[in-house]
Chain A
Amino acid sequence: MNGETFFAIGTINDIPRRGARCVLTPVGRIAVFRTADDQVFATEDRCPHKGGPLSQGIVHDASVTCPLHNAVISLKDGEMRGPDDGKVRTFAVRIEPLTKVLELSLSPIAAAFADAAE
């Protein structure tokens, strides 16, 4: 992982399935999502449309719908779905296989890296 630093933020069971929670960090508030099939994703907690807190939205498949104006954001790459353009920063988050502890990296990642982190 190129010596990238990961921080423990809790366990996967701290987040409900199809839900999210947020983590306060020096780079701003980050939303950590857990899907129905236990994938986890992290994005900045700010909708590219009007800054809505994505962590408060409804999670479906690997997407979240923003609670303010229903923008749909793909959690995999942070891109807005549908006709709108916009993108949120995504962060690598991984599950420690034995303890189920979630670990979050704070350096924003390129899309290629996000795929590798899944």
Chain B
Amino acid sequence: MREKLVVIGNGMAPGRMLEHLFDKAPDQYEVTIFNAEPRVNYDRIMLSPVLSGEKSYEEIVIHGDGWYIDHGITLYKGHRIVAIDRDAKTVTSDHGVTESYDKLVIATGSVPFIIPVPGKDLPGVITYRDLDDVQAMLLAAQSRAKAVVIGGGLLGLEAAAGLSARGMEVTVLHVMPTLMERQLDPAAGYLLQKAVEERGIKVITRANTKQIIGDGKVEGIELDDGTIIPATLVVMAVGIRPNSGLAKEAGLAVNRGIVVDAGMQTSDADILALGECAEVDGMVYGLVAPLYEMARVAAAHLADDRSAAFVHADTPTKLKVTGIDLYSLGDFADGEDRQEIVLRDATAGIYKRLVLKDNRIIGTVLYGETSDGAWFNDLKKKATDISPMRETLIFGQSFQGGAPLDPMAAVAALPDDAEICGCNGVCKSKITGTIAEKGLTSLDDVRAHTKASSSCGSCTGLVEQLMALTLGDAFDPAAVKPMCPCTDLGHGDVRRLIVAKELKSIPQVMQELEWKTSCGCAKCRPALNYYLLADWPGEYVDDKQSRFINERVHANIQKDGTYSVVPRMWGGITSAKELRAIADVADKFQIPTVKCTGGQRIDLLGVKKEDLPAVWGDLNAAGMVSGAAYAKGLRTVKTCVGTDWCRFGTQDSTGLGVRIEKFMWGSWTPAKVKMAVSGCPRNCAEATCKDVGVICTDAGYEIHFAGAAGLDIKGTEVLCQVKTEDEALETIVALTQLYREQGHYLERIYKWLRRVGMDSIQAAIVDDPNKRRHYFDRFVHSQTFSQTDPWAERARGDVATHEFKPMADLTMLEAAE
């Protein structure tokens, strides 16, 4: 029989512990988790990018619901444990659930420190700790009003940068003379303050808060010196303390945190503690690297490997504010027995300082240029005697021996055991070895297999250099591949910056993101036009000159410069009247070829451009609209005849297909979207190789997606099963909207899935009905601006009349002078 393991808390440390445990001893425990937050495990380090708008919650989920199901974990979301009964070996939640355990892991994390000043309980005073706090801040930021952040440490500055990016006027109050004084010396703190102020954030140091003022809600802050700073939002980010109350009540040994030995065991042999709530050897920890180390040790002990022991190591600190490079490690206080080496470059905003003791590095502060951080860290860790290279040490690794300052050479020169990813404790040889062993070629693969750069992401550049080094020309840095030669930014960066900086026109994007050409090129302009259209429906005006010809004239250009015309036939259903109209049009305009398409439509090929409006006018008159066979948008929904006719049909597949097509036509997507609905598993509509497909069964509807039958051939993946047609429609629409918001231009759905992973898609569309509804609603909103037949507008002569006839005919010449 399996032992029962109960985990209190569902943060990053216990999540990582369980990953290790399932690797080592997959069947030893039956696991139950109680999470006080009503959600799955997410990457708390990445809350700042969520706040600034550079990432979404979906992107920072570590374990989607599927992971818990796959490992047979019972996850109680929104359950806070209120009591541990060590005699009965049970825990009880605030909702009254009691579970018994053989082993208990306490991972309750930390609670933000609230400074005890009058007004601290006013509405509008929040802390910065979890997703709820971020959501509260985002809500407050909508007012574009004033915010005060108390605390100029790592969290406070990230919060301030995020709120400022969201349009708030932000003041940071810091009680010490310089920012981040625990990680930075005063010189670097000064540079940091300048950089923060350049972003429009006001910084007041030596600021003692006297009280928070307001009547019923926050109105401002008063300092000791009488200064009053108006604010509608106050964020307290002054520090955290271990959340050890529960353990204390249960009678476990508690100092600052829950006291554990080097094997993470508390004073009760059956109870372990890890994470920010744990105290090892008198130390408590808040950065992720030591917490992950605790996770590794705890998992080993749970799997009966008693040899694993936690050892203290200094962890480098990095600030996650886009555009500010900062690295700090170890001890950098002045002292009689210490020496320092300093490099300053005021124009470039660079400051580097090494603190030495007995010819060994004991501390490092790098500001503005941090690429040598890993090397200095390695020298420190190994206590290397640096006297032979002391003269040039500060210039970095690649300078040693006079080699050129090539970042690749620097990485190549790193020893195999040099730490690359501080968060996850991954060394160089682990990355290069895994790349070779598993044949990895993309950054995402390396993240998946080694965890390197998967937490805070600040070592991404180093990891990519290692990949380039290991793979040579085979390395395709897809994640950072620029959109086109006009920019160094990739599609993902551009999309996130469009949203984060609220960029709403192509010239604005090019200006703000420093495009290298004056008006882009044929690659980036259509992509930007799509992103702006998808992100700002109703606000952004479609730029027709940035559309590929097919989308500009709503027909497909052919090799001879003529066009093909495909009218919509909802779900592939047509009628004698429509067919007659098509036949008449073919005769009238002498259209040479009439052909059936793969998507159950009729294609008229060889139409002259100047005839297009008249052809459309005739088709409109018979009730037909554009079939969008040219669009990066919804193309066709193929159907079989389902219960209408078929003796095997289980549902009304034709009806559902027509309904989907009528609901979704006119929408633009990153690449074309083809769908199909089959009425039974015999799958006559070939739904399992489509971008989105439905297989009807007696029990309901199986929603498939991410198939391909073009350059690549790939069967679909099953997203979920639903019971009703309404649910099927809502799921498909929400899925398409998620793709519209995340997809890179020209990236088909199957490639998007490969990039973002099934877990994140299911977390957004399947696991949480509210979230699905949000995506659905956003699609519906966007549709209100896109369901106008482009053919009718042009046939009437309302739009783009210039497109369809020559501006002049000089075949009968007439001289101007």
CB–CB A60/B519 < 8 A: yes
Given the complex of chains A and B, what is the CA–CA distance between A57 and B806 in angstroms? 15
CB–CB A26/B522 < 8 A: no
The 8 A CB mask of B503-533 against A (1 = contact, 0 = none) is 0000000000000011111100110000000
A111 CB within 8 Å of chain B: no
Would A58 and B806 be within 8 Å (CB), given that A50-B559, A68-B559 are in contact? no
A-B contact pairs, 29 of them (CB 8 A): A5-B815, A5-B817, A7-B813, A7-B814, A8-B808, A8-B814, A8-B816, A9-B810, A14-B802, A16-B545, A16-B802, A21-B807, A24-B806, A24-B808, A24-B809, A24-B810, A25-B810, A35-B519, A36-B518, A36-B519, A50-B559, A52-B561, A56-B557, A57-B522, A58-B526, A58-B547, A61-B517, A68-B559, A104-B810
CB–CB B806/A60 < 8 A: no
Given the complex of chains A and B, what is the CA–CA distance between A70 and B548 in angstroms? 10
CB–CB A10/B808 < 8 A: yes
Would A58 and B807 be within 8 Å (CB), given that A7-B815, A7-B816 are in contact? no
A positions within 8 Å CB-CB of B? 5-10, 14-19, 21-26, 29, 32, 35-37, 50-53, 56-61, 63, 65, 67-68, 70, 72, 101, 103-104, 106
Cβ 8 A contact of B522, one of A5, A22, A52, A65: A65
A63 proximity list for chain B (CB < 8 A): 521
B597 proximity list for chain A (CB < 8 A): none
CB–CB B810/A61 < 8 A: no
B389 CB within 8 Å of chain A: no
Write the nearest CB–CB distance from A98 to chain B, whole angstroms: 14
**Shortest Cβ distance from A103 into B: residue:** B816
CB–CB A25/B811 < 8 A: yes
B546 CB within 8 Å of chain A: yes
Would A15 and B816 be within 8 Å (CB), given that A56-B549, A60-B525, A61-B517 are in contact? no
B550 proximity list for chain A (CB < 8 A): 67
Tell me the residues in window 299-347 of chain B with beta carbons closer than 8 Å to chain A beta carbons.
none
Write the nearest CB–CB distance from B396 to chain A, whole angstroms: 38
5 A-B pairs with least C-beta separation: A65-B522, A9-B808, A21-B807, A58-B522, A18-B545
CB–CB B549/A57 < 8 A: yes
Given the complex of chains A and B, what is the CA–CA distance between A72 and B519 in angstroms? 15
Given the complex of chains A and B, what is the CA–CA distance between A72 and B386 in angstroms? 55
**Shortest Cβ distance from B552 into A: residue:** A56
Given the complex of chains A and B, what is the CA–CA distance between A65 and B519 in angstroms? 13
B positions within 8 Å CB-CB of A? 517-522, 525-526, 544-550, 553, 557, 559-561, 802, 806-811, 813-817
CB–CB B802/A58 < 8 A: no
Cβ 8 A contact of B520, one of A6, A57, A60, A106: A60
CB–CB A60/B813 < 8 A: no
B544 proximity list for chain A (CB < 8 A): 16
Write the nearest CB–CB distance from A12 to chain B, whole angstroms: 11
Write the nearest CB–CB distance from A18 to chain B, whole angstroms: 4
CB–CB B817/A24 < 8 A: no
B549 proximity list for chain A (CB < 8 A): 56-58, 67
Given the complex of chains A and B, what is the CA–CA distance between A32 and B545 in angstroms? 15
**Shortest Cβ distance from A14 into B: residue:** B807
Given the complex of chains A and B, what is the CA–CA distance between A67 and B5 in angstroms? 63
**Shortest Cβ distance from B519 into A: residue:** A36
B548 proximity list for chain A (CB < 8 A): 58, 67
A25 proximity list for chain B (CB < 8 A): 810-811
**Shortest Cβ distance from A69 into B: residue:** B559
**Shortest Cβ distance from A18 into B: residue:** B545
Would A58 and B525 be within 8 Å (CB), given that A7-B815, A23-B808 are in contact? yes
CB–CB A56/B561 < 8 A: yes
CB–CB B545/A58 < 8 A: yes
Given the complex of chains A and B, what is the CA–CA distance between A56 and B547 in angstroms? 10
CB–CB A61/B807 < 8 A: no
Apart from A9-B810, A24-B810, A24-B811: 6 A-B pairs, beta carbons within 8 A: A7-B814, A9-B807, A14-B802, A15-B807, A58-B545, A60-B519
Would A32 and B816 be within 8 Å (CB), given that A15-B802, A60-B520, A68-B557 are in contact? no
B811 proximity list for chain A (CB < 8 A): 24-26
CB–CB A21/B817 < 8 A: no
Given the complex of chains A and B, what is the CA–CA distance between A79 and B519 in angstroms? 20
Given the complex of chains A and B, what is the CA–CA distance between A82 and B243 in angstroms? 63
Given the complex of chains A and B, what is the CA–CA distance between A5 and B817 in angstroms? 7
CB–CB A60/B808 < 8 A: no
Given the complex of chains A and B, what is the CA–CA distance between A103 and B549 in angstroms? 26
B547 proximity list for chain A (CB < 8 A): 58
Cβ 8 A contact of B807, one of A5, A22, A26, A51: A22
Given the complex of chains A and B, what is the CA–CA distance between A57 and B526 in angstroms? 12
CB–CB A19/B545 < 8 A: yes
B519 proximity list for chain A (CB < 8 A): 18, 35-36, 60-61
Interface core residue of B522, B547, B560, B811 (most chain A CB under 10 Å) = B522
Given the complex of chains A and B, what is the CA–CA distance between A25 and B811 in angstroms? 5
**Shortest Cβ distance from A32 into B: residue:** B807
Given the complex of chains A and B, what is the CA–CA distance between A66 and B521 in angstroms? 12
Write the nearest CB–CB distance from B398 to chain A, whole angstroms: 34
Given the complex of chains A and B, what is the CA–CA distance between A60 and B516 in angstroms? 13
Would A67 and B557 be within 8 Å (CB), given that A17-B545, A19-B545, A60-B520 are in contact? yes
**Shortest Cβ distance from B807 into A: residue:** A21
**Shortest Cβ distance from B543 into A: residue:** A18
A18 proximity list for chain B (CB < 8 A): 519, 545-546
Write the nearest CB–CB distance from B564 to chain A, whole angstroms: 14
Given the complex of chains A and B, what is the CA–CA distance between A25 and B547 in angstroms? 27
Write the nearest CB–CB distance from B65 to chain A, whole angstroms: 43
B817 proximity list for chain A (CB < 8 A): 5-6
Given the complex of chains A and B, what is the CA–CA distance between A59 and B802 in angstroms? 16
Would A21 and B545 be within 8 Å (CB), given that A57-B522, A60-B520, A60-B522 are in contact? no
B806 proximity list for chain A (CB < 8 A): 21-24, 29
CB–CB A23/B810 < 8 A: yes
Given the complex of chains A and B, what is the CA–CA distance between A26 and B811 in angstroms? 5
Given the complex of chains A and B, what is the CA–CA distance between A102 and B817 in angstroms? 13
CB–CB B545/A23 < 8 A: no
Given the complex of chains A and B, what is the CA–CA distance between A103 and B810 in angstroms? 12
A26 proximity list for chain B (CB < 8 A): 810-811, 813
Given the complex of chains A and B, what is the CA–CA distance between A10 and B808 in angstroms? 7
Given the complex of chains A and B, what is the CA–CA distance between A61 and B518 in angstroms? 7
B521 proximity list for chain A (CB < 8 A): 58, 60-61, 63, 65, 72
A32 proximity list for chain B (CB < 8 A): 807
A53 proximity list for chain B (CB < 8 A): 557, 561
